[in-house]
Amino acid sequence: MNTKEDFGTPLLSVEDLRISIQQDDHVLHAVDGVEFQIKKGTTLGLVGESGCGKSLTSRSIMQLNPKECETQGQIVYRSEKDKGLQHVNILDLKPTGKMMRSVRGKRISMIFQEPMTALSPLYTIGNQIMENILIHRTKNKKEAKQIALDMLNKVGISNEEKRFNQYPHEFSGGMRQRVMIAMALSCNPELLIADEPTTALDVTIQAQVMELMKDLQKDLEMSILLVTHDLGIIAEMCDEVAVMYLGKIVEKAPVKEIFNNPKHPYTKGLIRSMPKLGGNKNRRLESIEGTVPLAINMSNQCGFYDRCTQRIEGECDKQRVPNYQVNGEHSVRCFLYKNEMEENGHV
């Protein structure tokens, strides 16, 4: 699959991404200095609760956020297949321009949470799958149809000739999401952004769809950015995990490290609040007290301060929390590790 060298160069690096939304009399800092990399052929999980900015972050990679969003920072994309895109800052491209359109659907594809509303009810699924094939791969309708039929077959939709001419309302939820996957992967993208791809599906269907995505990832050698709030899916799918809270990435580590050695109090809380198989049925499931504050007029304190059980008064509420390197691949944004890390020499 991948050699060790190109495992090192990231396909996508997000650097100091900031997204703010101007509201009536204040500015909402929805994403506040996010940084991460996605390596070739790997899956990065972006996990966090609703409103933490994970969807905005993932959509900014394709410049799909609404006009009201002001985006700053860099999203550097390094395409292998496309010479024109060997090193571009996506945020420099004009959102409606030709360059951006040649990235969308061709190099980077997206799957959305709600397959019913993400597909148009007015066109056959064949029409909608062929749409991007006809833009990016071939002008020949017959050939495009063949590619679409192959894709339907690949995502496990049988009787594809008949299904091709059916409308989204004739499909079940899981089948619709398969159609979305077929659509997203029909032009062999290098990066797939899956924004809560299974949230709207039954648990049994979730597993099937995840399995399908994993298989296709191997086939097509693509990277995945998986946005979810479901740690179970993270554990199953991802190579690396970035935990987001209130517009910031608070902890980032390989998946095993996150589950075995979580550092940030928020990550720990998340993992504790997962139901465990074979656990004591009478034990109350733990939860993190409180709710996410709104990211308006944020002072320098840690965003998790109000909900944190291990907060250090006079420190966590007084200054911006820097990123501490736990080890080569594990970093955390929390003052608890200040001394430890300094001793270890990783600052």
Partner 1 sequence: MFQYIIRRILLVIPVLICVSMIVFFVIQLPPGDYVTHYAAQMSAQGENMSQAEMDAMRAELNLDKHWVIQYFLWMKGILLEFDFGHSFSYNEPVTSVIDRYMALTLIVSIVTMAFTYLVAIPIGIYTAVRQYSISDYFFSALGFMGMATPNFLLAIVLMYYSYVNFGDPLLGLFSSEFENAPWSWAKIQDLMKHMIIPIIVIGTASTAELTRVMRGQMLDEINKPNVVTARSKGVPESKILIKYPTRAALNPVVSTFGWTLSNIFTGSTITAIVLNLPIQGPVMYNALLGQDMYLAGTWLLFMAVLTVIGTLISDILLAWLDPKIRTEIKGM
Q: Smallest distance, Å, CB 67 to partner 1?
A: 10
Distances (CA, A) of 6 to 78, 87, 140, 219: 11, 15, 35, 18
Q: Is 170 in the site for partner 1 (CB under 8 A)?
A: yes
Alpha-helical regions (H) of the chain: 4-8, 54-60, 98-103, 115-118, 125-136, 141-154, 160-164, 173-185, 203-220, 231-237, 255-260, 265-272, 338-344
Q: Which of 8, 19, 2 is nearest to 55 (CA)?
A: 19
Residue with tokens 């648990």: 203
Measured from the CB atom, is 192 or 246 closer to partner 1? 192
Measured from the CB atom, is 34 or 180 closer to partner 1? 180
Pairwise CA distance, residues 264 & 320, whole Å: 15
Q: Smallest distance, Å, CB 118 to partner 1?
A: 5
Q: Give the residues across from 28 on adjacent strands.
A: 21, 296
Measured from the CB atom, is 189 or 269 closer to partner 1? 189
Q: Is 336 in the site for partner 1 (CB under 8 A)?
A: no
Q: Smallest distance, Å, CB 53 to partner 1?
A: 17
Residue 343 DSSP code: H
Q: Smallest distance, Å, CB 116 to partner 1?
A: 9
Could you say which residues in the range 23-62 bind partner 1, by CB under 8 A?
62
Measured from the CB atom, is 107 or 154 closer to partner 1? 107
User: How many residues interact with partner 1 (rule CB under 8 A)?
Assistant: 30
Sort 153 into a burial class: Cβ within 10 Å, 0-12 / 13-18 / 19+: middle
Pairwise CA distance, residues 130 & 85, whole Å: 24
Q: Is 68 in the site for partner 1 (CB under 8 A)?
A: no
Measured from the CB atom, is 103 or 237 closer to partner 1? 103
Half-sphere exposure at residue 265, Cβ-oriented, CA atoms within 13 angstroms: 18
Could you say which residues in the range 239-258 bind partner 1, by CB under 8 A?
none
Binding mask 171-190 for partner 1 (x = CB under 8 A): ---------x--x-------
Q: Smallest distance, Å, CB 113 to partner 1?
A: 8
Q: Specify whether the CB–CB gap between 335 and 321 falls below 8 A.
A: yes
Measured from the CB atom, is 106 or 154 closer to partner 1? 106
Pairwise CA distance, residues 166 & 184, whole Å: 18
Q: Smallest distance, Å, CB 46 to partner 1?
A: 17
Measured from the CB atom, is 43 or 58 closer to partner 1? 58
Q: Specify whether the CB–CB gap between 1 and 15 falls below 8 A.
A: no
Measured from the CB atom, is 104 or 263 closer to partner 1? 104
Could you say which residues in the range 80-139 bind partner 1, by CB under 8 A?
96, 101-106, 109-110, 112, 114, 117-124, 131-132, 135-136
Helix (H, G, I), strand (E, B) or coil at 106: coil
Q: Which of 44, 58, 77, 56 is nearest to 190 (CA)?
A: 77
Q: Smallest distance, Å, CB 172 to partner 1?
A: 15
- The binding site for partner 1 (CB under 8 A) comprises 62, 64, 96, 101-106, 109-110, 112, 114, 117-124, 131-132, 135-136, 167, 169-170, 180, 183
